[in-house]
Chains A and B, each alone.
Chain A
Amino acid sequence: MMMDSRIDDRFFSRHRMEHNSFLYDVDRFSEIFSSDDRAEKLVRFIAFWLIAHILGTDLVMAEQIACIKAGMPPQQAFERAKEQKLDPVMVKMMLDAIMNLWIDSKARCTRLENKCSELEKN
């Protein structure tokens, strides 16, 4: 869908990258966590990711596609999207979601660090 509408490159590659990194991260969940933890952590991850993604990426993309379909050149649609003023509640939800993803990653780092210290003692 994105390729059909010829959305400006800068945005397209970033959006693509997020999908790929999501698949990569979900894939790794099976390697990382034991089965008791895994389901809950995976659900949390997917929930936050979806919130961030839908709000942050797809909304802006939808706006651009609409403009392009109405005849605007992709570059202009992209520039215009950058000038929009955004709804603060949605922005907050999106940023909170990514913050939570960050916090969960940090927690995982801490667990891994503890594990490494224990292994070192052995």
Chain B
Amino acid sequence: MLIWSNTFETKLELVDLQHKNLFNLLNKLVNNLEMSGIRNEELEKAIKLLIHYTKTSFNDEELLMMESHVDKRHLTMHRMEHQSFLYDVDIMNDITSFEDRRITGKVIKLVRFITLWLTFHILRTDMVMAAQISHINLGMSPQQAYEKVNSHKIESANVYKMLDAIIDLWSDAKERCNQLEKTSREMKKKIAALEMELQIASINSINLIDPMNSFK
């Protein structure tokens, strides 16, 4: 669940509105998951809506940055974060069959990822964007605005929130790696066992094919 608070306010009207809507869509998805008897198609719909809305809000943000002439260095980095997020979500969302009983687990992971990422991205990248736009609107050049944001001291409470989110994202990725390693080790064992069986079978079949061997 993502609960809206002043902490997340960028003071940019459209951006804040879209973020609030994103939180709502995400929380709705969480509620859906907790409802017993929810059909997979409904979950799929909710996820598609959330992702679609996220893409829209990313586009709007990027447009806003361009219109405000935000320094290219920030714009490029910001855009890359958006794209990387969509790429990661795409991979996690690669649920080939919504008939899959394990779907709830996958959706829970997806929700957790989106929650952590949004927390980190809004508090860090969007806030930096908002500060630059505000400076530019007050007459600073994009370059000055870009450099100025590096001199604002940050509330440590916010730093802890960002830190927690990014550490959790990292932990989750490591955990996934560990699972994959386990899977790959098990697969290798199975392959080795199968190869052994094949070898034994082929040795046996050679003995069968040439029974005359025993008479030589």
A residues near B (Cβ < 8 Å) are 25, 32, 56, 60, 81-89, 91-92, 94-95, 98-99, 101-102, 105-106, 108-109, 112-113, 115-116, 119-120, 122
Determine the distance from Cα of A13 to Cα of B23 in the docked complex, in whole angstroms.
31
Residues of B close to A102: CB separation below 8 A? 166, 169-170, 173
Determine whether B159 belongs to the interface, using a CB cutoff of 8 Å to chain A. Answer: yes
Determine the distance from Cα of A89 to Cα of B149 in the docked complex, in whole angstroms.
10
Tell which of B153, B174, B183 has the most Cβ of chain A within 10 Å: B174
25 contacts between A and B (CB under 8 A): A32-B181, A56-B163, A81-B156, A85-B153, A86-B155, A88-B149, A91-B154, A92-B150, A94-B163, A95-B124, A95-B162, A95-B163, A95-B166, A102-B166, A105-B170, A105-B174, A105-B177, A106-B88, A108-B177, A109-B180, A112-B184, A116-B180, A119-B187, A120-B187, A122-B191
Number of interface residues of B (CB under 8 A): 30
The majority secondary structure among interface residues of chain B is: helix
Determine the distance from Cα of A92 to Cα of B150 in the docked complex, in whole angstroms.
9
In the complex, besides A105-B170, A109-B173, A113-B180, 7 extra interface pairs with C-beta distance below 8 angstroms are A81-B156, A85-B154, A88-B149, A102-B166, A105-B173, A105-B174, A109-B176
Q: Mark B135-172, 1 if CB is under 8 A from A, else 0.
A: 00000000000000111111111011011001101100
- The residue in chain A whose Cβ has the minimal distance to the Cβ of B169 is A102
Determine the distance from Cα of A3 to Cα of B151 in the docked complex, in whole angstroms.
35
Residues of B close to A32: CB separation below 8 A? 181
Determine the distance from Cα of A96 to Cα of B177 in the docked complex, in whole angstroms.
21
Question: How distant is A79 from chain B, measured CB to nearest CB, in Å?
Answer: 11
Determine the distance from Cα of A95 to Cα of B174 in the docked complex, in whole angstroms.
17
Given contacts A109-B177, A116-B184, contact A88 B154 (CB under 8 A): yes
- The residue in chain B whose Cβ has the minimal distance to the Cβ of A31 is B181
Determine whether B79 belongs to the interface, using a CB cutoff of 8 Å to chain A. Answer: no
